Amino acid sequence: MTEVSASILTVEKENAVRTFYNLETGKINYFHIDVMDGKFVERDTTELMKDYALTISHISNLGLDVHLMVENVEEFIDEYSMLEPEIITFHIEATKTEERTKNAIEEIKRSGSRVGISISPDTNLEEIKPYLNQIHMVLVMTVVPGKGGQKLIPETLEKVKELKKYIDENNIDIDIEVDGGINAETASLAQEAGANILVAGNYLITAENISEAVAKLK
């Protein structure tokens, strides 16, 4: 079954609570929280995302799907684990060394969340293979991380296919999430490639009817 995680990066403050409500009643599965530190990527969304994540945890029962686009992974795992997210995902390009990657995995597990590792378009799949049997999800970036509203890079779906093949051949039970440029058309391509969790920002937030948009993605 395909799940939908709504990226709330472009939600405006004035409409935030109403939009969160519409997303939840529109049957999304998670709220996707894009934490950017102004270093790993240019934008800094730390304050806004903390604010939104807190609001959501007060008004919704849906799980948080926290996507850390930050250099200091350890600090933000600490900060977000207090909200008991369903999933915390960090970037392999941020932890870099095996030691830091393993520690981050352990820290997230200890906090009770599911562990995701994200991989940017330019990073080779080989980088994450050693960790696949220790984590719950791979987040394949289908755009260069940093902003919403970009076009999906077609080659990234080849990476999804390759990953899907690898996990099936090796009997690894893991979710594959795609993030960036997902709309009704790219959603079906991503599913065909092997993704089972779709992040969508712009497509959902600008939809006239969110329920219909979620149904189309699924």
Closest CB to ligand DX5 among 108 and 143? 143
Applying CB under 6 A, does 195 fall inside the site for ligand DX5?
A: no
| Least Å from the CB of residue 111 to Zn ion | 20
| Least Å from the CB of residue 43 to ligand DX5 | 8
Applying CB under 6 A, does 32 fall inside the site for ligand DX5?
A: yes
Give the type of residue at 132: L
Nearest residue to ligand DX5, by Cβ distance, number only: 201
Q: Is 162 helix (H, G, I), strand (E, B) or coil?
A: helix
- Candidates 140, 179, 187, 197; binder of Zn ion (CB under 5 A) is 179
The listed partner (Zn ion, ligand DX5, none) that binds 148, CB under 5 to 8 Å by sort, is ligand DX5
d(CA 146, CA 128): 21
Among 51, 43, 157, 208, CA closest to 31: 51
Torsion of CA 117, 122, 125, 130, to 10 degrees: -50
Residues comprising the chain, all counted: 218
| Least Å from the CB of residue 158 to Zn ion | 20
d(CA 209, CA 206): 9
* Dihedral sign for Cα atoms in the order 80, 81, 87, 89: positive
Applying CB under 6 A, does 200 fall inside the site for ligand DX5?
A: yes
Applying CB under 6 A, does 180 fall inside the site for ligand DX5?
A: yes
State phi, psi for 142 to the nearest 5 degrees: -100, 5
| Least Å from the CB of residue 215 to ligand DX5 | 17
- Candidates 19, 29, 34, 187; binder of ligand DX5 (CB under 6 A) is 34
Residues tagged active-site: 34, 179
Q: Judging by DSSP bridges, how do beta strands 63-69 and 30-36 pair with one another?
A: parallel
Give the interface with ligand DX5 as residue ranges (CB under 6 A): 7, 9, 32, 34, 67, 143, 145-150, 179-182, 199-203
